Amino acid sequence: MICQSTIDKLIEMRLTSMADAFRIQMDDPSMKDIPFEDRFGMLVDMEYTSRKNNRLKRLIKNADLEQPGASIAAIDYGHNRKLNRSLIERLSGCGYITECRNISITGATGSGKTYLACAFGMEACKHYYMVRYVRMPDLLLDLQSAREEGRFREVLKKYTNPVLLIIDEWLLLPLTEKDTPNLLELIHKRRRRFSTIFCSQYREEGWYEKLGAGDTPLADAIMDRISYDSYKIRIESTDPSKDISMREVYGLDPEEAQ
């Protein structure tokens, strides 16, 4: 009865993994020969590990990554692509996050930008950082709708609070006059506080034009806040005549699709 009472209290305190481990210990006669301190340490380790695993699962789920199965270890450095492997492996340690630096990943459609960004996102989750993935069209629509409804500050926090924000399809579509101030507000609040990964079909040299160039001073303000704090990963073809989409590489075999 005393053991069951202890188990019930552990469950009530939401120490379920410790309760399960304690129940297993009580049913195992060999545990009687193990000192109390060691047995107690085993119980604490079980609860600690369980909580860390659950926290990781929540972080990955809340990140809403486009490709949650992405992994740094599984990056394909072949298929006619030129990648800076040493830089990617160095950044996978998440040092850029502690430095509050950004990463820009540029390359043609189907070159694997999203996969690489999600792989960095998974590594950040494994370091227990809060991560969020968003497509730029969805981001801009969310911010502008919030501004029109008087909820801008509230919604802005959704994108300023994550330690790592992944913005996919960066500058894929032209910005409207309303989009640029919203984007500047986001970039300004994240600078030197958190890290952002920008995935774009266009090299950083062309971003200024996409932001409006000399037609608006906001273009200069945005570029000034991201250009000097970013590591640059360029996915390039070793032979343009042999380009192949990574979606094709990992997609269905044509014979199996019919």
DSSP result, 148-160: HTT-HHHHHHHHH
**26 assigned to some structural domain:** no
Amino acid at 255: E
Domain count, the chain: 1
**253 assigned to some structural domain:** no
**56 assigned to some structural domain:** no
Average pLDDT, the chain: 87
Angle subtended at Cα 127 by Cα 97 and Cα 109, rounded to the nearest 5 degrees: 65
pLDDT of residue 256: 60
19-51: per-residue pLDDT in tens? 888 888 888 888 888 888 888 888 888 888 888
**167 assigned to some structural domain:** yes
pLDDT of residue 163: 98
**133 assigned to some structural domain:** yes
Q: Residue 166: which CATH number?
A: 3.40.50.300
Whole-angstrom distance, CA of residue 16 vs CA of residue 93: 32
Q: Is residue 117 within a helix (H) or strand (E), and if so which, with residue range?
A: helix 113-126
Q: What is the pTM of this model?
A: 0.83
pLDDT of residue 252: 44
Domain with 157, as residue range(s), is 63-238
Owner of token pair 């390359």:
107
Which residues of the chain carry a pLDDT beneath 70?
Answer: 1-2, 79-80, 214, 238-258
Using DSSP, state whether 200 is helix, strand or coil.
strand
Q: Is residue 197 within a helix (H) or strand (E), and if so which, with residue range?
A: strand 195-200
**227 assigned to some structural domain:** yes
Q: Is residue 234 within a helix (H) or strand (E), and if so which, with residue range?
A: strand 230-234
**139 assigned to some structural domain:** yes
Nearest to 168 by CA among 231, 224, 120, 219: 120
What DSSP line would sit under 119-188, residue for residue?
Answer: HHHHHHHHTT--EEEEEHHHHHHHHHHHHHTT-HHHHHHHHHSSSEEEEESTT-SPPPTTHHHHHHHHHH
Is 247 in contact with 79 (CB distance < 8 Å)?
A: no
**71 assigned to some structural domain:** yes
pLDDT of residue 89: 95
| The pairing of beta strand 164-168 with beta strand 102-106 | unpaired
pLDDT of residue 11: 80
The token duo for 149 is 């409804």
